[in-house]
Amino acid sequence: MTEAAIAVVGLRKSFGKTAALRGLDLTVPAGTVCGLLGPNGAGKTTAVRVLATLAAPDAGSARVNGFDVVRQAAQVRRSIGLAGQHAAVEEGITGRDNLRLIGRYHGLGSRGARSRADDLLERFDLAEVADRLVRTYSGGLRRRLDLVASLVTAPPVLFLDEPTTGLDPRSRQEIWDAVRELAEGGTTVLLTTQYLDEADRLADAVAVLDHGTVIEHGTPGRLKAAIGIRIEVTVAQAAQLDTAVRVLADLAAGVPVADPAERRVEVTSGAGRTIALPQLVRELDAAGVSAQDVALRTPSLDDVFLALTAAPGRAAR
């Protein structure tokens, strides 16, 4: 396989005066799960819409499953499944009928569509509710049906736009299991999410989007390593806060952030730096800071996200 399942180069898209994508580059190797992270308005949904042929790019190129999203839109549509932020299923009919209709649209024929629907309902644990009207489904059930609806053709590439937003933990877990199972079967998945633990659990690689470009890209592990260790110091008296900030600024590569209300200072150590707890306590002590609490943590993807998106003017990679 020489070509990536998703290859995006210099993609630009504006709506009126608002630029949603400003030169997006992204490569997703076939058979992997890529998590697209970013704050609201970073361009995640626009990226998915362009890749799913729903929106036309202003500039740049995007290929999905080897097909150009503009010139070969029909082939792209035959290669993809899309589950969006909404549960895009028909409410007034049953779950089974929803899947059968989609099968018919995809040229499986009446019988083919029926047996495919039966297979999927069985496999994703929806057989019991299959003959109920979708209107009576819970939010989680609806979202699961929506996900299954995007799988009717067994598409090689699957786009999931915030698949678990607004779901309870159990329903999220069920969606995650389903996505993992698909990925193991070789489906390429592009997943947008605001939940970093979701990307952490599912994604082989993560791309962090901000203002329409990818500002960081890599495995979750590499991104976490890039910001080093996270240090939190709570001081006994508010007057010592400034001194603590100075001590931490000397020790760590990151810029310490003080929270006077909590009498706490936080900082990330920076890539490759290790800071030992005894050394930290000694330095604080030497500066006359009596620490009430000192903690060293492995950063979460949340920390990565905040560190990356908080820094203004950081150049796009």
Please report how close the Cβ of residue 193 comes to another protein at its closest, in angstroms.
17
Please report how close the Cβ of residue 64 comes to another protein at its closest, in angstroms.
9
Q: Are strands 264-268 and 257-259 parallel, antiparallel or unpaired?
A: antiparallel
Stretch that binds another protein, among 81-89, 205-213, 237-245, 258-266 (CB under 8 A): 81-89
Please report how close the Cβ of residue 186 comes to another protein at its closest, in angstroms.
5
Half-sphere exposure of 8 (CA within 13 A, CB side): 25
**227 counts as binding another protein under rule CB under 8 A:** no
Task: Sheet containing 213-218: give its strands across.
Answer: 80-83, 157-161, 188-193, 33-37, 205-210, 213-218
280: which 2 tokens?
């930290």
Please report how close the Cβ of residue 92 comes to another protein at its closest, in angstroms.
4
Among 11, 26, 36, 89, binds another protein (CB under 8 A): 89
**97 counts as binding another protein under rule CB under 8 A:** yes
Tell me the site size for another protein, rule CB under 8 A.
58
Among 27, 61, 85, 243, binds another protein (CB under 8 A): 85
**122 counts as binding another protein under rule CB under 8 A:** no
Calculate the dihedral angle through the C-alpha atoms of 194, 197, 203, 207, rounding to the nearest 10 degrees.
Answer: 40
**279 counts as binding another protein under rule CB under 8 A:** no
Among 115, 138, 219, 237, binds another protein (CB under 8 A): 115
Q: Which is nearer to another protein, 93 or 275 (CB)?
A: 93
**31 counts as binding another protein under rule CB under 8 A:** yes
The interface mask with another protein, positions 38-77, x = CB under 8 A, is: -----------x--xxxxx--------xxx------xx-x
**187 counts as binding another protein under rule CB under 8 A:** yes
d(CA 272, CA 152): 46
207: which 2 tokens?
């791309």
Q: What angle do CA 165, 167, 170 make, to 5 degrees?
A: 135
The residues near 164 (Cβ < 8 Å, ≥ 6 apart) are 143, 171, 172, 175, 176, 193, 195, 198
Please report how close the Cβ of residue 35 comes to another protein at its closest, in angstroms.
18
**1 counts as binding another protein under rule CB under 8 A:** yes
Strand boundaries in the chain, DSSP class E: 6-15, 18-28, 33-37, 59-64, 67-68, 80-83, 157-161, 188-193, 205-210, 213-218, 230-235, 257-259, 264-268, 291-297
Q: What are the residues facing 206 on neighbouring strands?
A: 35, 218
- Where is 144: in which H helix or E strand? helix 139-149
Binding site for another protein (CB under 8 A): 1, 3, 5, 30-31, 49, 52-56, 65-67, 74-75, 77-80, 82, 84-90, 92-94, 97, 101-102, 104-108, 112, 115-116, 119, 133, 149-151, 153-157, 181-182, 185-188
